[in-house]
Structure formats: C-alpha cells, structure tokens
Structure 1
Amino acid sequence: MRENKYDDAAFFEKYSRMPRSREGLAAAGEWHALRKMFPDFKDRRVLDLGCGFGWHCRYAAERGAASVVGVDLSERMLEEARARTDSPRVRYLRMPIEDIGFPDDSFDVVISSLAFHYIESFTDLCAKVNRCLVGGGSFVFSVEHPVFTAQGTQDWRYDAQGKPLYWPVDRYFSEGVRKAVFLGETVTKYHKTLTTYVNGLLRNGFELLELVEPQPDPHLLETCPDIMRDELRRPMMLLVSARKR
C-alpha cells in the first residue's frame, strides 16, 4: 500500500480545516484557470484521479457528465466525498492512482487535481491513462510546480523578523523523493522536472494543448491578501491540458 497520510486522523483533521476543504473550488487559488481548461463534460464519461472530497467529480456531474468515477487512496477522503455527493452518476473507488487498470476506451475525459506529485512515475501513469481514454479524449490535470517541489522542504527562506526572503530552488534535475512539511507533518512527494511532465505526455500518445502557471484568483488576492500575496513571487502550480492522439 502506498503512503496514505490522509487517513491519519490528526493530519486529516488539519486538512479538513483548510479553506479549500471547507469552501471547495471557490477557495482554490488555481480554480479560475483550471476550469477554463476543462472540456465540455456533457454526456462524457469522466475519471478523476486523486478525487479527494469529490469537488471536481460533482462539478463534472453538475455539467452533464454521463458518468463520473473518482479514485482515491484515502478512505477518509472517500467517506467525505460520498457524504457530499447525491448524484447517482458519480461513484468512488478506493485504490492507488498507480494501480488503475480500466478497460480500453472506458473514459472520454480524465482529470486530476494536485495528486501526481505523490506518485513516482508519471510516465507509467500516462501510459495507463492513454489506454483507458478514447481517441481524442481529454487529459487535464494540475500538479505542484517543479519550482515548488525541487528543493524539498517547500518553504521560504526567512529573515530575522520572519519575513519571507526568497523561495529556494535546489537539486532541480535530481528527480525523486522529497520529504516536504505540509500542515506540520512530514509527507513524501516526488519531484519531477517540467521536461518529465511534458515528455511523459508526448511519448505516450498525447498532444499538448495548453500549459498554464496560474497566478492566484484576483478575487482571492483581494479577500485574502495576507495568504495570497506571496503566491505571486514564485509558481506553486502547473496546469496541463492534453489530448489523446
């Protein structure tokens, strides 16, 4: 079984108190950009990898998806997702993202939000996504930006007064395990370069449609300036839209 920090009771409680956990997509700084990259969901069969609380699953269903499958490793996440979901067209499966093995041409759209930095091989995953997507199918996802994951600790360097001085980038070309601190807990992530993300797609039957390094939603910059203003100093996320050839 892969590392499953989200089923740790103390960690999950902290995660559940985050604004994006309580308020959903509206509190996600990248949502204003990601939603523009999604295809038309109407009558589509959708797979969400690392679905968490099911926000994107419900979004797809609300926009007419024929069916939505959400996959996540955390039972606590899935319990919350099921409690918040009333659409019969959405179902949730517990499994590691890396272990998906759906039949060929099972889905028209595959999406994922901030999950792939928890898996070791993006290339292997691309091959599996390609198999379960129909020709011309959409693959849209967000990950933590390689600049954000490279150094490992995922924190600023501070001055004597505790003011952020700069974001350290180190070992960029050395891919692999990073021990990051998230919500006060040590979490295992996998740093990958931008080259790995792009070539993982191109070498596994996808064409790249759009790549976005999103700035925070202007509304959140106005309403949460103390939290969001430093997000303009370095990229935190990478959004990618691709299509199966």
Structure 2
Amino acid sequence: MSAFYDAIAPQFQQSRALPFRHHVEAYTYLNLIGEVTDQRILDLACGEGTYSRLLKQRGAARVVGVDISAQMIALAQQAEATQPLGIEYIVCDVQALGQIGDFDQVVASYLLNHAPTREQLLGMCQTIFANLKPGGRFVSINNHLEQPPETYGICEQYGFTKQISGDLREGTPITVSFPSEGSVFSIEDYYLSQDTYECALQTAGFPQVQWHSLSISPEGLQVFGADFWQDCLDYPPIIGISCQKPGASDS
C-alpha cells in the first residue's frame, strides 16, 4: 500500500484541483469538522497535508498528520518548509499507530474505504477511538460504498470514474480513477457494508454513528449552476461520517 501511494503522490495532489473535490468534498468535510480554534487535531490518511494545513490555518492549536506513504508525507513536509505552520507529520500505517495523544478531533479523508476486511476496518476504528479525548469527535469523508454501481457513470462529469467487477459483496474492490496529464491513475477501495462500518465503529467504542449527506459550496453553485451538481446529490459518490467518544465534551 505504501509503495503504491508513493508512486501516485504527485498525481493525487493534482487531483485536488477538480471542482468536485473543492466544491463538494472539501466543503462538506470542513463543515462537518466545524470549529477547530484551539483544538488538537489528528489527521489520519493525511496524504500531502492539504486538510492538515487548512485545519491549522483555521485556528487549530496542534495538528498531527499521519499517512502510510513516505512520499505523501514528503510533499506535506515540503509545503511545511515553504510555509511553516507547525504541523507534525508521521509516516505510519494507521492500524500500527497506537495511541499518540488525546485529541479533540480525529479526522480522516478516504481512510476507512481502504480496509478490505472487517478485521482491518476494526483496527482502524480502534486507533481512532484510542486517540480521542473523552467527548472527542471522529469525522470522515469516505467513498460512498453503498452507491448503486449502475449510477457510477455520473462520476465522469465530475472528473473521475468508479468501477466494480462483480456484485457489492464484502471485500469487493472498487476502483476509483482520475485523469492526470494525459494518463490515468487509479486507487483501489473495498466494499464493506454500512452495517459493517457501524459494527466496527461501535465495537471500537462509539455508541452512535451518523451518516451525512453532501453539500455544494455557494461558489460551486454560482459557477456551475445547480443542475450540474444534481446527479451527485441524487447518487452521492462520497459520504460523511461522524461519531463521538463518550465522556466530557470539554477539555
């Protein structure tokens, strides 16, 4: 997995420029995360650090980014060297991370959808739970694995494709592809049901799991029009997830 992401790190970074990723993904995700002033944030599967930097710029007191790819972290550290924000970066598999702190929020973009088995999904969820303070929140944006495959075609107008070989069964690969400078790079996610996700998160210790619909930024609506975005609202290719660790909600 780490070698795969090392190879596509620059292309993955370029894909951030897609209007869908800015006006839908980032807008939905950051709204779910909400106020971060003076908070301690752990950003899992941080990639090249885009969201780590945005959260620090929005007032977080401490941000720690973790990714399995050394090349992704190298890009994040290059950005940190160019514009220092005081973000800490760690190269590590989330399942092997252990507890490194008591954070106000643990956030993760496209982490859980990389788990091919229930056991690996549970391992990720246990790491998330262990790193939250009592009352802390987990927020994620994730491939919407329950999107009906017959609606995958709507993704093309937003700059990417989704493909599946076979039925939606536990562990079935779902390939997400992005064009990049005349070529294409692909990421492999895995189908696990919404029930499996809820079971893993609840087994890890979260009493309740919330699923969140997508939102379109006002700028995205103004520039592209509401009709352009309707398909992604009707058949959302990604989805938000949030949970709260039991306990006091204050530091």
- Identify the TM-score tier after normalising by the shorter chain: 0.7 to 0.9
Does structure 2 conserve the Cα–Cα contact (< 8 Å) formed by 1:45 and 1:108?
Answer: yes
The whole-number CA distance in structure 2 between the counterparts of 1:40 and 1:215 is 17
CA separation of 1:12 and 1:28: change in aligned 2, threshold 3 A: farther
Return the offset for 1:39.
Answer: 4.4
Report what 1:116 is aligned to.
112
Which aligned pairs between 1:119-134 and structure 2 lie closer than 5 A?
Answer: 119-120=115-116, 121-134=120-133
Residue among 25, 29, 34 paired with 2:24: 29
Q: Does 1:90 align with 2:91?
A: no
RMSD: 3.2
CA separation of 1:53 and 1:3: change in aligned 2, threshold 3 A: closer
The whole-number CA distance in structure 2 between the counterparts of 1:90 and 1:192 is 32
Q: What do residues 196-237 of structure 1 show as CA deviations (whole Å, max 9, x unaligned)?
A: 222222222113364212144353244346974542341111
Report what 1:205 is aligned to.
205
Return the offset for 1:76.
Answer: 2.6
The whole-number CA distance in structure 2 between the counterparts of 1:37 and 1:156 is 27
Question: Aligned to 1:203, what secondary structure does the other structure show?
Answer: helix
Stretch deviating more after TM superposition (224-233 or 119-128): 224-233
Does structure 2 conserve the Cα–Cα contact (< 8 Å) formed by 1:61 and 1:87?
Answer: no
Report what 2:239 is aligned to.
238
Normalising by the residue count of structure 1, what TM-score does the alignment of the two structures yield?
A: 0.77
Report what 2:217 is aligned to.
217
Q: What do residues 121-162 of structure 1 show as CA deviations (whole Å, max 9, x unaligned)?
A: 2222111221121111111111100124x75x99429xxxxx
The whole-number CA distance in structure 1 between the counterparts of 2:97 and 2:151 is 29
Which aligned pairs between 1:1-245 and structure 2 lie closer than 5 A?
Answer: 2-8=1-7, 11-18=8-15, 20-21=16-17, 27-85=22-80, 86-103=83-100, 105-120=101-116, 121-148=120-147, 151=149, 155-156=152-153, 171-172=167-168, 174-178=169-173, 180-183=175-178, 184-208=184-208, 210-217=210-217, 219-224=219-224, 228=229, 230-245=231-246
Return the offset for 1:88.
Answer: 4.6
Normalising by the residue count of structure 2, what TM-score does the alignment of the two structures yield?
A: 0.76
Between the two proteins, the alignment pairs up a number of residues equal to 227
The letter of the residue matching 2:40 is: R
Question: Aligned to 1:207, what secondary structure does the other structure show?
Answer: coil
Report what 1:162 is aligned to.
none
The whole-number CA distance in structure 1 between the counterparts of 2:60 and 2:187 is 34
The whole-number CA distance in structure 1 between the counterparts of 2:237 and 2:105 is 25
Structure with bigger helix share is 2
Does structure 2 conserve the Cα–Cα contact (< 8 Å) formed by 1:106 and 1:133?
Answer: yes
The whole-number CA distance in structure 2 between the counterparts of 1:177 and 1:95 is 25
The whole-number CA distance in structure 1 between the counterparts of 2:38 and 2:87 is 13
The whole-number CA distance in structure 2 between the counterparts of 1:81 and 1:23 is 22
Does structure 1 conserve the Cα–Cα contact (< 8 Å) formed by 2:6 and 2:70?
Answer: yes
4+ residue segments displaced more than 6 Å: 22-25, 167-170
Report what 2:157 is aligned to.
none
CA separation of 1:155 and 1:56: change in aligned 2, threshold 3 A: same
Residue identity over aligned pairs, in percent, reads 24
Question: Aligned to 2:66, what secondary structure does the other structure show?
Answer: strand
Structure 1 residue runs without a partner (length 5+):
158-166
